[in-house]
Amino acid sequence: MKKAENPKSDTLKSTKMANQKIEGPQIEGLYTAMITPFDAQDKVDEKGLRMLIMRQLTARVSGIMVLGTTGEAPTLENYERDEIIKSAIDEAQGKIPVMVGCGTYCTKTTIDHAKQAQKYGASSLLIVVPYYNRPTQEGIYEHFKAISSEVSIPICIYNIASRTGKNLETDTLERLAQLPHIVSVKDSSGSLSQLTDVLERIAFKKRFFSLLSGDDAVTFPLLALGGHGVISVLSNLVPRAVKKLIDTAQEDLVRARAIHYSLKPLVSATFIETNPIPIKSMMQIAGLM
């Protein structure tokens, strides 16, 4: 693979990109949080992963994200991480951005994962608020500050208190948005009040900064409020339908609302049990795994 063979070139390109004048959000639209398919021997199904990525390309999604919660990243071995990142970037062929999940509750390990993803040619990084340790807001700030100083590609922060045990407060995010490379937040707080605060205090004031939904059920309300897109689980199954929701919301909220309600049963089914169990079962039923 060209990108994996020339990490110096990748770093140079990333540095140039970071120094370019930013006209608007770098991360927006529909990013699919890819599942990780496995074969009957519990090995990563590289051929299956490539097929699923090609399906996303055909649907013209804005980007894909690998090694997130939906991709079962916390349970993967390092060699499996390598395989997934390389396969995803190779299959995407530069046609769409590839975001890579790198977050852990250890700052050093997260930095190592981030550098690995950058070396292989990732377009951006998804980094979750440290889980289990439940740091203070100042601790969260210092965690992301340390990471942002070690990479040169965009970072999307992932706020999901239901899994981390700690909510990222808007005051803290406002500080983090001042740091290099932090350009987006994926919010799964479930609070429309918090989403509105983030839009008013940060996203509407910083043209480069984007707010993405981390919950398919909240995508339409967030778009109506002025949000920038979603990192979607459901789009593994129906990428064209979710993209139609995103695109339509830019022009006609009434039509977008109808699409939202038409997708509601699938969204509900996607989260009847812990993610990614339902979405993988649904894709198997649909013959996609």
Catalytic residue list = 158, 186
Alpha-helical runs (H) found in 97-160 = 107-120, 137-148
The Cα–Cα gap between 145 and 139 comes to 10
Distance CA 64, CA 17 (A): 19
Give the CB-side neighbour count of residue 9, counting CA atoms within 13 A: 6
Question: String of b and e for 199-218 (b: at least 16 CB within 10 Å)?
Answer: beebbeeeebbbbbbbbbbb
